[in-house]
Structures are given as C-alpha cells and as structure tokens.
Amino acid sequence: MKTKILNNRGLTLIELVIGMTIMIILLGAVFQILSVSLKSYQYNMAVANNKMIARNALNIITDELRYAVAVTEPTFVANVPTEPPTNLIRYTLNNHACNISLNQNTRTITIVSDTATNQIAMNTVTALSFSRSGQQESEIIISITINDGSYVGSPSTTLDTIVTLSNIR
C-alpha cells in the first residue's frame, strides 16, 4: 500500500508577500479608526473641560454681580444696547468699588475690589464681554469664550448668561 506524503514545502515568496500586504492594509484601517476615535475623544474632552471652566467662571462672576448696588460701566441707556460689548465691568458691592476684567496677556479674569484681588479661569480665557440690552437696567449680559489649549487646534467654547441684579430696579 502506498501512503500519500504531505507536501511540506511551506509558502512561496509570492504567497508571503500577498499575505503581508493584506495584513498591512488591515492594520492601516485599524490604526485609521483608532486615530479618528482618539481625535474625537480629545475634541469632546476639550469641549467638556472648556464648558466646566466657563461655567465655574460665570458662577463666580454672577455671584459677584448679583448683589451689586450700582453698575457704572457698561452704562445703561434705555432702549439702546451696549455696542460694542466691553471686557470690563465696574460696580459697587458692599460699599466697595469693584471691577471684573480680562487680562489679554495672561488670558485670565481678574476680580478687583478695594480689599482683594482674585484671578479665575487662569490661562484659558480668549474673550470676556459685558453688555446691556437696553431693556432692563437690572440685567447684565455676560459672554465668555474659553480655550484650554489642551492640544494643538483644540476648540474654543463660548457660553452666555444674563445676570439679574437684585438691588437695581
């Protein structure tokens, strides 16, 4: 009886090259998907971080302004909105002259009163503006734009709010 001997030759060079080419194409596709996923993750994390910083800054500014007894800048003119919005607000709180402004060089919001100076949202603020709609003397419109710079090309996020001053009617 004759037994059949299996062919133990292995793979030819062409078969190896074709197999490696297929593997390289598949790995390229996998790395492309991972790259897109990583960029999406970075973008979403940067936006979430920007929103968190902006919300915290707006909460601090809102708490400062809510109980102001006078706002001298931006001035209120009935039926005339503030144009252009300013990056400085001057107000009186607890018999202290105060102001909130944006330092463009350090990209930091500074809150100054007669007794103290505080800095918030350090190295992240690209724009801060205060304006009045001209409709209500007790309303201040605040807009803040944040870019945390967590990676090259990271997005900016803008949040707006309207503060109603409790002590001004």
Joined together, the tokens standing for residue 68 give 């102001």
Compute the distance between CA of residue 58 and CA of residue 42 in angstroms, rounded to an integer: 24
| 113 in any annotated domain | yes
Q: Are 83 and 141 in contact (CB under 8 A)?
A: no
Compute the distance between CA of residue 57 and CA of residue 98 in angstroms, rounded to an integer: 17
pTM of the model: 0.80
| 107 in any annotated domain | yes
| 20 in any annotated domain | no
Q: How many domains does the chain have?
A: 1
Q: How large is the average pLDDT for residues 152-164?
A: 93
| 1 in any annotated domain | no
Q: Which domain holds residue 61?
A: 32-164
The radius of gyration computed from the CA coordinates of the chain, to the nearest angstrom, equals 30
| 124 in any annotated domain | yes
| 17 in any annotated domain | no
pLDDT per residue as tens digits for the range 80-112: 887 788 899 999 998 899 999 999 999 999 999
Banded pLDDT at 135 (limits 50, 70, 90): confident
Contacts of residue 134, Cβ cutoff 8 Å, sequence gap at least 6: 76, 77, 78, 79, 80, 81, 82
| 10 in any annotated domain | no
